[in-house]
Amino acid sequence: MPFVTEPSATSSLEDLEIERLARARRQARGLRVAARRALALARRYRAEEGPRGEREKACVRQALVWRSAARDLRGKSASELGPGLARTAGPPSEANRRAG
């Protein structure tokens, strides 16, 4: 029978912290991508005629909210993150798996 060691409480806490940091980075990346997309839409809406640029302003406001949330994620613990921001993190990109 191979020798099996019990994982220490310290390594378990370190693993949880690593998971938390990785999750926060993924969520922050998702928020930044969403903000970039909102700004791209705002640029398209800039030339739009109609309700005096309201859609453009709404996109810029939302992008600022997402950027701020991404910055806030860097300093928060897992219990403070909550479930709402998890939806902004999309699935991993398939771009590097595609044939050129």
Report yes or no on 81 lying in a domain: no
Tens of pLDDT, residue by residue over 62-87, are 999 999 998 888 765 555 555 554 45
Look at residue 7 and tell me if it is in a domain. Answer: no
Question: What local confidence, expressed as pLDDT, does residue 100 receive?
Answer: 44
Query: Is the pLDDT at 34 greater than 70, yes or no?
Result: yes
Model-level pTM?
0.56
Domain count of the fold of the chain: 1
Q: Pick 50 or 94 by higher pLDDT.
A: 50
| pLDDT tier, 37 (very low <50, low <70, confident <90, very high otherwise) | very high
Query: HSE-up of 63 (CA within 13 Å, CB side)?
Result: 16
Whether 82 maps to a domain, the answer reads no
For 49, the domain range is 16-75
8 A C-beta contact, residue 97 and residue 72 = no
Mean residue pLDDT of the chain comes to 75
Phi and psi at 17, nearest 5°, equal: -65, -40
For residue 80, is it within any domain?
no
On whether residue 44 sits in a domain, the answer given is: yes
